[in-house]
Amino acid sequence: MNLKKAILFMVLSTIAFTGMNGLLKYLTAYSGPQLVFFRSLGSLFFTFGFLLSKGIPILGTNRKLLIIRGVFGSTSMLLFFIAVHYMPIGSAVALRYIAPIFAAVFAILILKEHVRPIQWLFFVLSFMGVLVLKGFDNSIPLIGLVLVLLASVFSGLVYVVIRKIGASEHPVVIVNYFMCIAMIVGGVLSIFDWTTPNLIDVLLLLSLGIFGYFGQIFMTKAFQMGETNVIAPIKYVEVVFAILVGVGFLGETYTIWSFVGIAMIISGLLLNLLFKQWLLKRKQN
């Protein structure tokens, strides 16, 4: 493993996703479905190009699960993109990160996995952070909170479906299905709320897909090269970057309660991650 390169790739991944999130907030003159359409279109150029150049079958083998993953992922993306219209980008990104909690619940119900009692305490800490954000931060309306929480629910379902798919499919095949379905969903829904972009906005809209694709690639490389317990926490730096972009470039403001709530959410998730890694090492020893 090359830890320095792994850390570098994860930092690059967070920067790429921050670029995508910043553009999302900047482009809120366009509807959520339209943002989903262009974000997907911008990524498909890379996913199709990669699969064709490597001779990897585009349709894959677990087509039913791939379609389900694409539907769940597209729904999560659409809900999150709409939620960004209603709240500061840093708060939206932090709230989206509670998806692993829903994933744990679905893993219990669907995959029959076990969650330790102390992990539920960590999850409660994160949910208390959500309550602090909503209860004390007037910049987060109820509709925005509901949308981003629903996005996290569907994102949690995505984690479970990917676990079911396992290593039977190439990661880019999974992403390609996701982007194809998202493009169709976004394109159809955009018919009812379409704003014709100028040339500059077209380039910015397509850049959503470019940032998203490279964010995913860099993150995958990081996890391939470094230990999860070292690399995964760096992912949460994306929240800090999102806040900096929001304040520095988008004119957003945050209260002290915003930072308290965000810190509680991330702390609960980090504690759960570290505990799982401790359990894994304990079993290996």
What would the pLDDT profile of 59-111 be if each residue is shown by its tens digit? 999 999 999 999 999 999 999 999 999 999 999 999 998 888 888 888 888 87
Query: What residue type is assigned to position 123 of the chain?
Result: F
Q: What is the C-alpha separation between 101 and 127, in angstroms, rounded?
A: 9
pLDDT at 23 over 90: yes
With 0.75 as the threshold, say if the pTM is over it.
Answer: yes
Q: If you count DSSP H runs as helices and E runs as strands, how many of each does the chain have, helices first?
A: 12, 0
pLDDT (0 to 100) of residue 228? 62
Task: State the angle between helix axes of 99-110 and 256-284 in degrees (0 to 180), rounded to the nearest 10.
Answer: 40
- pLDDT band of 1, cuts 50, 70, 90: low
Which pLDDT belongs to residue 229? 61
**What integer is the mean pLDDT of 181-201?**
95
What is the predicted pLDDT for the residue at 103? 85
Residue partners of 90: CB distance under 8 A and separation at least 6: 239, 242, 243, 246, 252, 254, 258, 262
| Residue 245 lies in domain | 3-284
Report pLDDT for 6. 83
**Most distant CA pair in the chain: distance in Å?**
59
Instruction: Give the integer Cα–Cα distance in Å for 146 and 282.
Output: 38
Domain count, the chain: 1
Distances (CA, A) of 163 to 98, 99, 107, 205, 221: 18, 15, 9, 31, 19
Tokens 């290996």 sit on residue: 284
pLDDT average, residue stretch 46-66 = 94
Q: What is the pLDDT of residue 227?
A: 67
